Amino acid sequence: ERLPELLGIMPKAELHMHIEGSLEPELIFALAQRNGVTIPYASVEELRKAYAFTNLQSFLDIYYAGASVLLTEQDFYDMAWAYLQRAAADNVRRAEMFFDPQTHTERGVSMATVIGGLHRACVDAKTALGVDAALILCFLRHLSEESAFETLEQALPFRDQFIGVGLDSSEVGHPPEKFARVFARCRELGLHLVAHAGEEGPPAYVWSALDVLKVERIDHGVQSTKDPALMKRLAADRIPLTVCPLSNLKLCVFPQLSQHNLGQLLDAGLIATVNSDDPAYFGGYMNENFLQTFAATGLDAKQAWQLAANSFEGSFADVAAKKQWR
Ligand code: HPA
Ligand code: ZN
């Protein structure tokens, strides 16, 4: 069977991954030791055993704890460099990486430290790995709009080192409307706009991400199949959905991978893509997401090529780069 091989070797873009979610337990322990930070787990094995999630919030609690070992510019570089090497091995040619500055600035780590380390890894990835990498700053939606504005202000001196903004963290109870004004400001600044919507939250959150925040892509969006009018809108406007199958499985969005609706999204003509979300926590990087999803759902080679094409079409890479990947 040649499908698994195809899934591995086909060039692809990753559009939905949180760099803090690529921190492997081994690196968490190494950084904790290097920085003299204590974490409430005795060993790598014990930490990994805690990765049994029941929903998004149960994951976020551990994810924020893991990120607490990041203190220096070199820490952020090392984390991003480890991910970019791993992405290159999966034939990822373009990586758009989310980062959560508030997780760090609230602990007293400066924006310069966070963006400096991540951006240096992106620059090195281009020359050393042939991976075109870019950063998207995410606002934490469980925090206030005021905090988001403050974060944007702190990031503006580094405006040329990130390409857009997104919205992540606890979805239910924190609708897109909460961030209408800060997204309007980001739009004026010429930043690309994306938002997590319809992961656990209702189709109404996808509608307001589109109509109120005016995002160009929806992160997750898998709840959209519950609303036929929304499906039509996403198809008509060619709004990419950055789907994360193993994440959805581990956070119990779908009870089994065989029940995932990726095939339904593709059949409806949506620009669906496959992504790893938080690969260190959800049991797989890009190729593992493709392999397990195709094995469980019976998607075929034609759909594999469609997903790869969608990933480049949906990316924010410049037109010349997109041509070269086609
Ligand atoms: N959803 C919301 N917030 C997140 C996620 C996610 O899947 N991963 C990291 N932060
Ligand atoms: Zn995500």
Write the pLDDT tens digit of every residue in 49-66.
Answer: 999 999 999 999 999 999
Q: How far apart are CA 226 and CA 230, in angstroms?
A: 8
| Phi then psi dihedrals of residue 120, to 5 deg | -60, -40
Short-list 187, 193, 265, 275, CA closest to 225: 265
Catalytic residue, candidates 20, 24, 96, 199: 199
Q: Please, what are the domains in the chain?
A: 3-313 (3.20.20.140)
Which ligand 1 atom sits nearest the alpha carbon of residue 171? 2
Residues present in the chain in total: 326
Helix axes 286-297, 301-314, angle to 10 degrees: 140
Known binding residue 196? Answer is: yes
Residue recorded with tokens 């969005």 = 253
Which ligand 1 atom sits nearest the alpha carbon of residue 244? 7
pLDDT in tens, 288-306: 999 999 999 999 999 999 9
DSSP for 242-283, written as a single string: EE-HHHHHHTTSSSSGGG--HHHHHHTT--EEE--BSHHHHT
Mean pLDDT of 213-223: 99
Are 93 and 131 within 8 A, CB to CB? yes
Q: Which two tokens stand for residue 62?
A: 């551990």
Residue 199 among the catalytic residues: yes
Known binding residue 168? Answer is: no
Q: Which residues line ligand 1 (CB under 6 A)?
A: 18, 21, 56, 63, 168-169, 196, 199, 247, 277-278
| Band of residue 1 on the pLDDT scale cut at 50, 70, 90 | low
Which ligand 1 atom sits nearest the alpha carbon of residue 63? 9
Environment class of residue 326 by beta-carbon count within 10 Å: exposed (0-12), middle (13-18) or buried (19+)? exposed
Which of 14, 99, 168 gets mutated to test ligand 1 (max ligand atoms within 8 A of its CB)?
168
91 CA → ligand 1 middle, Å: 24
Q: Which two tokens stand for residue 319?
A: 């037109």
Are 27 and 82 within 8 A, CB to CB? yes
pLDDT in tens, 104-133: 999 999 999 999 999 999 999 999 999 999
Structure letter (DSSP) for residue 296: H
Ligand nearest to the CA of 21: 1
Complex ipTM more than 0.90, yes or no: yes
